[in-house]
Amino acid sequence: MRALFALALSLVGTVGSAQTIVIDPGHPSEVGVGTKGRRTTELKVAWEVGLALRNRLRREGYAVVMTKQRLNERVTNKRRAEIANAAKATLMVRLHCDASKGSGFSVYYPAKQGTVNGVIGPSPAMLRAVAPMARRFYRAMSQTLAGKLPSEGLRTDAQTYVGRKQGALTGSIYSDVPSILVEMVVLTNPKDEAFILSTAGRAAMVDALAQGVKGAHEAAQLDKLQQSVEGMMPIGSKG
């Protein structure tokens, strides 16, 4: 058994730089252009952080695909998911800013299937895969931003306005790959807005997101490791 585990670990360990991450800077889409603070907009923050994260991940060896190529490019949530599906992404990271009375960042993932326009998704396999990835993503972000920005927690799609109605977010329903949505700050909170506009705050957010991607990637590798070990086990020994 130990030999099988070591062999599987060596095989999974070869996966790294070939991994594709899709970055989805939120808005504009069929639901609008997003929220705004006193000094900036969700559209602008998501785009600028997305570009910085793209550059960071590429330096670290990831292949990166963006769901849009211009700040004001309108892309529906269905199309954003289709781009991630076509890229066969390890993970799609959806970047947004919140509007509420709270403060800090939050991470959302689909925990159950939803329905939109007669389409049911995501698949049970994707739901199983994304949960540990979301937990690792959130933990890495929390550790990186500790003492810099509060956390509003790890949540499910069903805890959003759209998710409560549909069961999951539209982008998750159409996605065949693990999809995580990050509300980076509460943009209507002046303190959060000042954080994300500052050089240090912006750098901390990009670092936290990059660490989150790394954590999610590691969770995906561990899942592949487990599947590899199970596949190598002799028939009759899996019970």
More confidently predicted of 72 and 236: 72
pLDDT tens string 144-156: 999 999 999 999 9
CA distance 70 to 219: 31
The one-letter code for the residue type at 210 is: A
Quick one: which of 96, 126, 103, 105 has its CA closest to 32? 96
- The domain locations on the chain are 2-12+23-232
pLDDT tens string 32-65: 999 999 999 999 999 999 999 999 999 999 999 9
Packing angle between helix 199-232 and helix 42-59, nearest 10 degrees? 60
Q: Which residues pair with 119 in a beta bridge?
A: 116
Phi, psi of 216 (to 5 degrees): -65, -40
What's the mean pLDDT in 192-205?
Answer: 98
Amino acid 4: pLDDT: 42
Give the H/E segment covering residue 3: helix 2-13
CA distance 78 to 174: 6
Phi, psi of 215 (to 5 degrees): -65, -40
CA distance 223 to 237: 19
CA distance 89 to 70: 21
CA distance 180 to 233: 32
Rounded (10°) CA dihedral 113, 69, 54, 188: -70
This model's pTM is above 0.85: yes
pLDDT above 90 as % of the chain: 84
Check pLDDT > 80 for residue 229.
no
Amino acid 8: pLDDT: 45
Burial 225-239 (b: 16+ CB within 10 A, else e): beebbeeeeeeeeee
Q: Which residues pair with 96 in a beta bridge?
A: 183
Top CATH class of 2-12+23-232 equals alpha beta
CA distance 123 to 127: 6
